[in-house]
Structure 1
Amino acid sequence: MDIGIGLPVGDPAALLDWARRAEAGPFSTLGLLDRLVYDNPEPLVALAVLAGATSRVRVQTEVLLAPLRDTALLAKQAATLDRMTGGRLVLGLGIGGRADDHQVTGVDLRTRGRRLDGQLAVLRRLWSGQPHGDGVGPIGPAPARPGGPTVLFGGFQPVALERVARWGDGFLAAAPPSWAGGLFDTVRGFWREHGRAGQPRIVAQVNVALGAEAVIDDARARMGAYYGFTGRAEEMVAGMRTTPAEVRAAVTAFADLGADEVICYCYGLDPTQVDRLADIV
């Protein structure tokens, strides 16, 4: 099973150090969160910089809020990054839930799921080299992977889980092992119903902080601030794994559920957490 690193969003300038440490270690992927009305780096721009500083690890959005973006431009950006990294881009997509993110882009929060479905039809068409439509030709460049970069979807509701089978390659699970198994089973069931070959890629996420108490306190504060809008920030922070034994147990639990990869998400800024995680995994 692959192990990736979820990057902190509090200091964009520090992410090159994180990326180089991950590249030198046993890690498979660099993941980055997305928000608009927040002090975080724009993920496609940031991951492009990190991809240029690495040669092996995948770069992955977790999750990019596609409804906030122009579809044709997103198709071009993703295809360019996928092509220039030799197919290392993994495009994790979701709909988001913050009203302010949607307000500043003029996107109706109530119709964001339908907008995403419409975007996916256009993205897949453009990535396959077909014309945009209405007299408008194709939009290049061609991605490294025929048909577009690997696409994963996050979410919890049945419509989001079915989207994996209709449009995607796999599932991003931001859920603890105690109830992630049911989500995995539902995704696999939809995959079979839609007649998809093989199995969906299953990528789990565990929030971690390793180091001195100050490192852990920093991570808890930053994670709480990031998820404050949910009303469940304290509950989510309480689930953070802060010891090697807890991290190993979570990774093992996801492996037992059949996950293909676990992303260890770090909110604290201390980059030596990468080295501590390497010693564990």
Structure 2
Amino acid sequence: MRIGMTLPVMEPDLWERGAQTLHTWVRAIDEGPFSSLCFGERMAFDNPETLTLLGAVAAWSSRPRIVTTVVVPQLHDPGRLAKALATADQLSGGRLTLGVGVGGREEDYRAAGADPATQTMAEMAQRVATMRRIWAGEKVTEAMRPVGPPVVQPGGPEVLVGTMGPRTVRHAATWADGLAGVTLDLDTAAVGALFDTARAAWAEAGRPAPRLTTSFWVALDDDDGPGAVPGAARAQVHAHLRHYMNWIPAEFVDAIAPTTGFAGSPARLREVLARFADLGTDEVQIIPVSSDVDLVRRIADLTADLT
């Protein structure tokens, strides 16, 4: 099983620390044992714009795959999005993986000037199909030449679908290459059942076995012992969720915070990762709840022999 690391693009103090923080994180991930460097998209939020960041990350890194854990195609013109992603594929030397999702926030559609009525799996699949035609060199408009540049990866970047439910997994089996999952409560039985659904759906559709990834929030306590601060990591997760899940009433966020993500010692995190490896997970992508780059180094140390 491989381990990916997510950039702290949703952290409230990111810009206070300065944009150099992102460069520092990218370099630390690039130099570590991580198989991928991940980040996602929001519009009505203070995170960096995803397609702009893609270019910077491609230039700053040389080794790991670059994974957009979620881009919402309906927030973009498909031709312009295909061009931007093909450019990122070129700049990264073919290291791009595209995670797509319909998005959980109507406000992002309004902020992007997109039609909330397009917030469906069918519309997303149609837009992915259009981008794949563009990446194949087809002309999808009346222009004299097709939209370029050409992609490095034959057929274009790998496309993973962001989902937590079996219905959308089955829908995606005919057009996606795998899952860009997320688990809130680290329920390995539920994740395993979803993976089994995906394997069966892809096989029924006559497709190659899907790539199976999942992700979860992580905060590390000190190893249990003298000087450890009880509950410090759990408080970090809670504060992050309060900031990130700003579209959900605070009382609901407070209700799920005690059981969402991982908060504990490095030894316990290794145990959790081992359970996901036992499911046949291809990659776990760790989502930090701090913009302190020391977290990257700590997780690199504890996972170096797992990847």
Q: Report the TM-score when normalising by structure 1.
A: 0.92
Q: Secondary structure at the match of 1:117?
A: helix
8 A Cα contact 2:65 2:96, kept in partner: yes
In the TM superposition, what are the counterparts of 1:68-107 in structure 2 within 5 Å?
68-107=75-114
Q: Secondary structure at the match of 2:80?
A: helix
1:239 to 260, 279, 290: 260
Deviations 1:228-269 (A, max 9, x none): 324553315632222213321221111111111111110211
1:167 to 163, 169, 175: 175
- Between 245-254 and 17-26, report the one with greater CA deviation: 245-254
CA positional deviation for 1:7: 1.4
8 A Cα contact 2:132 2:156, kept in partner: yes
Partner Cα distance (1:273, 1:260) in 2: 22
CA positional deviation for 1:178: 3.4
Deviations 1:29-50 (A, max 9, x none): 1111211000111122213212
2:225 match: none
* Counterpart AA for 2:107: D
In the TM superposition, what are the counterparts of 1:179-198 in structure 2 within 5 Å?
179-197=190-208
* Counterpart AA for 1:240: G
2:189 match: 178
Asked if residue 256 in structure 1 is aligned to residue 278 in structure 2, the reply is yes
8 A Cα contact 2:237 2:257, kept in partner: no
Q: Secondary structure at the match of 1:228?
A: coil
1:124 match: 132
2:299 match: 277
CA positional deviation for 1:216: 5.9
Partner Cα distance (2:257, 2:91) in 1: 36
2:6 match: 6
Q: Secondary structure at the match of 2:247?
A: helix
Q: Secondary structure at the match of 1:253?
A: helix
- RMSD over equivalenced CA pairs, Å: 2.0
- The 1:54/1:216 distance shift into structure 2, 3 A limit, reads farther
8 A Cα contact 2:78 2:130, kept in partner: yes
- Between 77-86 and 225-234, report the one with greater CA deviation: 225-234
Higher Rg of the two aligned structures: 2
Aligned length in residues:
280
Partner Cα distance (2:218, 2:155) in 1: 34
Deviations 1:152-210 (A, max 9, x none): 1111334421343222211111023231111111111110111013x111111121012
- The 1:183/1:236 distance shift into structure 2, 3 A limit, reads farther
Asked if residue 209 in structure 1 is aligned to residue 230 in structure 2, the reply is no
CA positional deviation for 1:6: 1.2
Partner Cα distance (1:2, 1:163) in 2: 26
Give ranges in structure 1 of 5+ residues lacking alignment.
none
Partner Cα distance (2:282, 2:253) in 1: 27
8 A Cα contact 1:215 1:268, kept in partner: no
Q: Secondary structure at the match of 1:32?
A: strand
* Sequence identity percentage: 37
Give ranges in structure 2 of 5+ residues lacking alignment.
223-228
CA positional deviation for 1:65: 1.4
* Counterpart AA for 1:27: F
Partner Cα distance (1:138, 1:277) in 2: 44
1:109 to 111, 116, 121: 116
* Counterpart AA for 2:253: A
- Between 26-35 and 155-164, report the one with greater CA deviation: 155-164
Q: Report the TM-score when normalising by structure 2.
A: 0.85
